[in-house]
Chain A
Amino acid sequence: TQLLEQSPQFLSIQEGENLTVYCNSSSVFSSLQWYRQEPGEGPVLLVTVVTGGEVKKLKRLTFQFGDARKDSSLHITAAQPGDTGLYLCADGGSNYKLTFGKGTLLTVNP
């Protein structure tokens, strides 16, 4: 059974700071997805990475996929209160059976 470990579990920072959260897998990812979930809402897909070493950018968010496809990081530049939420990584597997990590709960204070 694949295990996804996300770190840190909790992160509280001030507006304008940079941050990085991590996702590590016990086995090679089929594909890796990052989601953001706001309180009272369902997860929203941010990005999908497939190729080892891949880097994708979404405005102030930078996603990196490890060369060995067993780890990933999400870096946020100049965090804003609107970035507050639970960040989840998931292995796409067969793509209709997602395996999720437990998430990093980010709070950005104004």
Chain B
Amino acid sequence: NAGVTQTPKFQVLKTGQSMTLQCAQDMNHEYMSWYRQDPGMGLRLIHYSVGAGITDQGEVPNGYNVSRSTTEDFPLRLLSAAPSQTSVYFCASRNAWEIDTIYFGEGSWLTVV
């Protein structure tokens, strides 16, 4: 009964450091995506994937990389963290043919100092 699992829950980084936010789903969903949520801005799409080996950019991709080597995992990499990347990050997954199957993880709170 795991659904979408994100790690870590909380992280503090120094400017310039790199890190990876992990996202895993156990529902065999084809579609996975990363969003960031900032006060007054709603959720904005960073990157998404429609299947293993296929990724594409969303609305705010700069400063982030993704890869999708397996159906289950979709990690988000911050190459050189900046204070502007302080945010709450959500991973989501859904299957390819049922519009109502979307699930979000519980979020990763990232602070860049």
> Do the two chains bind?
yes
| Residues of chain A whose beta carbon lies under 8 Å from any beta carbon of chain B | 4, 31, 33, 40-45, 48, 50, 88, 90, 92, 95-103
The number of residues on chain B lying at the interface, defined by a beta carbon within 8 Å of a beta carbon of chain A, is 24
Task: Please give 13 more A-B residue pairs, beta carbons under 8 A apart, in addition to A45-B100, A102-B40, A102-B41.
Answer: A4-B42, A42-B105, A43-B104, A88-B43, A96-B48, A96-B94, A97-B33, A97-B45, A98-B43, A98-B45, A98-B92, A100-B43, A101-B42
Tally of A-B residue pairs with Cβ under 8 A?
56
How far does the alpha carbon of A57 sit from the alpha carbon of B31 in the complex, in Å?
A: 28
Counting chain A CB atoms within 10 Å of each CB, the highest count among B4, B48, B99 belongs to B99
Q: In the docked arrangement, what's the CA distance between A100 and B41, Å? A: 9
Which DSSP category, helix, strand, loop or mixed, fits chain B's interface? strand
Contacting pair B94 A95 (CB below 8 A): yes
Interface membership of B27, Cβ < 8 A = no
